[in-house]
Amino acid sequence: MSNEAKACNAVIQLLERRAEQDCSHKYYPERENAAAPVEIIFSIGDSTYALEHTLVEPFSKHIHFGQRFSQLVSPISDTISEQLPELGVYTLYFPINTSLGTSREALPQMQHVLSDWVSENAQLLHERLPPCLDRDHFPYGYKETITGTPEGFPYPITLEIKVHWSLSDSHNGILICDRVISESNLSNQRNIPMLRAFCNKRRKLSECHELGYITALIIETNDISLTNYVTVADAVRAATRIKPDWLDKLFLINTSVESIWAMYEWDWHDQFWIHPHHSISPNELSEQL
């Protein structure tokens, strides 16, 4: 979900504090179907700003793949947990870009194949367990994996069993489904959405820049597991190389934590975020521009 209005208001408040003046003459080109439909144009003192917002995914189609992953595993994870050998916790790992390329009608059959594969291999993992798994023999616990490709699947998956002496009986036999990605592949994938964001926003911000406005772009991220200000900085450098002549200010707002957001401002000279960052309480921001 995008926090467009709140993110814009956070930047406006920052600029107001710096200038020690309130913003005025607000205009909303997007609502007026203007030629350069940025989110908002406003004035602070003698300066006029054009502000644009974009929500950037950690990598291309991140939301789409997340939805597909949920459609695949959600119906079976609870059910199959009741059928697994009751010792240890089982984790099923999929590629981060999980997509079966099948129709909605074919999905139940794929889920049936997946359930059978997990049940069969969970039994194999259970049969391979050492006879004694107490603290003295395995102080850090025990784990083992099986990797294979279920029939009809376009990629291999991995089933892992973990047994630890500290786990209560309530954890035994449960199935957890997760997605993984290699860091090298993720680094390449991160650059694509950032490059697309700059390309998509260039025209409207260029037109505002030609009118003499100070242009500012807000990048919002709401992912906590794959994205942070360092990885976004790497993607920004890859997407821009040198400072775009149409963009004056660049902000990053991480909205992954609901109670407190972090806002960073880009330093074009140092090619990194200016420190310290700004902490924002989203509850204090208006949902209206």
pLDDT of residue 215: 97
Same domain flag for 97 and 165? yes
| Mean pLDDT value of segment 163-183 | 77
pLDDT in tens, 113-146: 989 999 999 999 999 999 888 888 888 889 999 9
Q: Which of 126, 152, 173 finishes a domain?
A: 173
Does residue 70 lie within any of the structural domains? no
Cβ-proximal residues to 161 (8 Å cutoff; 6+ apart), any chain: 88, 89, 90, 122, 125, 126, 129, 143, 144, 145
Number of domains in the chain: 2
Strands of the chain, DSSP E: 23-27, 40-44, 47-55, 89-95, 142-148, 157-163, 175-180, 214-221, 249-254, 261-267, 272-280
Residue 53 lies in a domain: yes
As a whole number of angstroms, the distance between CA 34 and CA 29 comes to 5
Mean pLDDT of 107-113: 86
Per-residue confidence at 70, pLDDT binned at 50, 70, 90? confident
Residue 187 · residue 234 · CB < 8 Å: yes
In a domain, 75, yes or no: no
Of 4-13, 97-106, 147-156, 250-259, least confident by mean pLDDT is 97-106
Query: In terms of residue numbers, what domain contains 244?
Result: 4-60+184-284
Residue 256 lies in a domain: yes
Cα gap 268→148, rounded to integer Å: 47
**Chosen domain end from 128, 152, 173:** 173
Residue 41: left if φ>0, alpha if ψ -120 to 50, beta else—which one?
beta
What is the chain's percent helix, strand, coil content, to nearest 5? Answer: 35, 25, 40
Query: Is 143 or 172 the better-scoring residue by pLDDT?
Result: 143
- The answer as to whether 232 is a domain residue is yes
Rounded distance between C-alpha atoms, residue 230 and residue 85, angstroms: 42
DSSP 211: T
**pLDDT (tens digit, 9 = 90+) per residue, 226-265?**
677 888 898 899 888 788 999 999 999 999 888 899 999 9
User: Does residue 53 sit in the same domain as residue 139?
Assistant: no
- Same-domain status, 188 and 280: yes
pLDDT (tens digit per residue) in 179-226: 776 555 556 666 767 888 898 999 999 999 999 999 999 999 887 556
Report if residue 72 sits inside a domain.
no
Whole-structure pTM value: 0.66
**Same domain for 204 and 147:** no
Are residues 218 and 145 located together in one domain of the fold?
A: no
Q: What's the Rg (C-alpha) of the chain?
A: 25
CB atoms within 10 A of CB 245: 8
Q: Which of 113, 143, 173 is the last residue of a domain?
A: 173
